[in-house]
Chains A and B, each alone.
Chain A
Amino acid sequence: MAPMKLYGWVVSPWMARVRVCLEEAGAAYEVVPMSRSGGDHRRPEHLARNPFGQIPVLEDGDLTLYQSRAIARYILRKHKPELLHEGDLAGSAAVDVWVEVEAHQLEPVILPIVVNCIIAQYVGQERDQAVVDENLAKLKKVLEVYEARLSGSRYLAGDDVTAADLCHFGFMRYFMATEYAGVVDAYPRFKGWWEALVARPTVKKVMASMPPDFGFGSGNIP
C-alpha cells in the first residue's frame, strides 16, 4: 500500500494538527513540502487538489481531502477509531464537542495573538497590541472553562487522549512560544494537560520540525 501524501509546509499549525494524528495512528505517510512564500498553494496544480487554495491536503490513493479536521477524522477513523470514541455515543459526542470548542472558541483567539506576537515582525506588519490585549482577555475566559473541564477528567473527552486533545496541538504550540505563555500558569490543570500532550513521543516528533518563529529567524521562510 503506497504511503499517504500530505501536502503543505510543516511549520503550519494546521499541518501539525494532521501530522500528530498520522503519527498517533501509526499511518504511513510522506510530506510533500510546499512553499508558502513561493505561492505554491495558489498554483493550478494545487487548486486542482484544493479549490480553496489551502494546506494541508491529503492524498490517499484516489482520495484527495482538505480541511485539517476532516483529514484528521478520516485518518483516525481508518487507522485508530478509538481516538474518536467511535461506537460510543456519549464518548464520541464529547470528542465532537471539544473539537468544535477548539475550532470556534480557542483557535480564533490564539491565532491573532500568534500572528501579532510572532509573525508580524517578519512580514513587515505592525504588531497591534490592542488586538493582542483583546484576545488575551478572551483567552483567559476560555481557559477558565478548560480548567473546569480538566478538573473532571485527565483529557478533554475522558481519561485517555483523543482527537479532541490532538486537534489542539498546532495552535497551542505557537501560543506557548509567545511572551504570553505564562498566562497558562493560572490554570494548573490546563497547564498539566498541555505538558502531558507535548511529552508524547509522537507530538515531540512533529514539534521538532516546528521552530518557535516558524523558521523566519533562521532564513527558512515557509
Chain B
Amino acid sequence: MWYTGIHVVSAKWGSVMSAPAMGTTKTAHSDVAPKKKRGPGALATAYLVIYNVVMTAGWLVIAVGLVRAYLVRGSYHGLYFSIEKPLKFFQTGALLEILHCAVGIVPSSVVLTGFQVLSRVFLTWAVTHSVREVQSEDSVLLFVSAWTITEIIRYSFYTFSLLNHLPYLIKWARYTFFLVLYPMGVTGELLTIYAALPYVQKTGLYSVTLPNKYNFSFDYYTFLILTMVSYIPLFPQLYFHMMRQRKKVLAHVEEYKTE
C-alpha cells in the first residue's frame, strides 16, 4: 500500500525537534480537539449559586461581627470570641466544596481543594478551638481577618461567575488582594500554631504513647512542628501559582474593563 505521506508530529508534549527545515510541506492538522467543558446542569448551577451566596453572607456576618466587637470594646484584642461560632460554622461548611469537586459540578481537583479546606478546618478546630490558651492571641485576629476578606471576595467571585456577570472589580480583587492577604494569613496561622506548642507539650493533647495494645504512638507536638515546617515548601508554590494565574487572568484587561 502506498502512503502519500506520514507525519510524525511532536505535539505539545515533545520538545521541539531542531534540524534544518525541509521544503514545502502540508501544515500539521491539529488533531488535538479542545477539551469540551461540560459545565454543571441548571439544577447544579442553581444549587451552587445558593451555596456561594450563603457563604458570602456568612463571611460578611463574620466581618461585621469583628468590626462591631472592635467598636464596642475599643481594642483589637480578644475579638475571636465574638465571631467564634459563625467562623466555625462557615469554615467547616466549606467541606462541601470537596464534595462539589468529587461529584463534578465544580471543575477543580478534589485533592487540591481537599487539601486547602482541610488545612483551614484543621486550624479552626485542631488548633484554635482545642487549645484555649491561644484564643486570646493577636495572631488569631491576623489569620481570621485575612480569611474573612479573602472568602468574601472569593465567594462573590464564584457567585457572579456562575451568573455570567462578573464585575471586573471582583475579578481584580480576587487576583490582587491575595498578594497581601496570603502572607498575612500564613503569618497568623504560623504564629498561632507556635503559640499552641507549649500547651500541647504540657498536656499531651491528642497524643498517644507506648505501650498500648495497638502498638501505635502519636506525638501531636511533633506533628504541629512538622506542619509548620511544611509551610516552607508549600506556601511559595501556592503563592507563585496565584501570581501566575493573576498574570494570565488580568492580562485580558482591555477586553473586560468595559463590563
To the question of whether A and B form a pair in one complex, the answer is: no
Which of B's residues lie within 8 Å of A, judged by CB?
Answer: none
Which of A's residues lie within 8 Å of B, judged by CB?
Answer: none
